[in-house]
Amino acid sequence: MNRVNENYNSQSLEDQLSQLSNRVKQLESQLENVLKFSAKIEQIEEDLMLVSDVNRYSKLRDYLEEKRWFDADIETINLIMAIAGHNRLEELRPEEIQKFPCNSLHVIDNLWVKYSQGRFGFSVQLKIYKSCGGDREATIEENQKLVAQWGEQLGWRKNDQWLRCEDLDYSLNAPLGCHPSQWWNSPYGNKMINYFLARLMSCEFVNKSNKSQ
């Protein structure tokens, strides 16, 4: 009788493990569906952000679609100033960037990433900054050495000197993350760079180029 009970208990345990395994597979399948659904929702949200103010971003979209990188770079500055309510770049103070709308930054970035095939955009630049060791603490410290290293990676510096924006390569042969570039040439220099990088981090920017690969 004990042997029968042992066999029964063993079989019962195997049945429970089998049921548990099947349940785990079901949960994994459900989770995969949820993730796919979440990705679709995210895409819809991104499309809505553009559609909701299509006139504002249409010129940037057209320039990028036509591969007119220099014109798109200038339009990026115009957009940032217009959204911030200023007419000149020197009027936009670093402190204001702390409250700059995340949605607007995401729309601009999405357009750059999409039409450059993942080579350009704020999210690409932020990823490179982090790969150089940059983080929130570094932006608070306004680490100039780190910003210089980052600038070299983006192709903005040569022979320990910052290049003029007009001397940069405005083609897809430019270094990864090179553009948009002229916006970063703020009259407030290193302070604006660090405040803007911190804003990108607080807006939870990620490098979207990996998603398309």
Residue 93: how many CB atoms within 10 A of its CB? 16
Residue 111: how many CB atoms within 10 A of its CB? 22
| Residue in the block written with tokens 């949960």 | 27
Assess whether pLDDT exceeds 50 at residue 163: yes
> pLDDT tier at 129 (50, 70, 90 boundaries)?
very high
Choose the weakest-confidence range: 13-22, 107-116, 123-132.
13-22
* SS3 at position 162: strand
* pLDDT digit string, tens, across residues 67-97: 999 999 999 999 999 999 999 888 999 999 9
CA distance linking residue 28 with residue 143, whole number of Å? 44
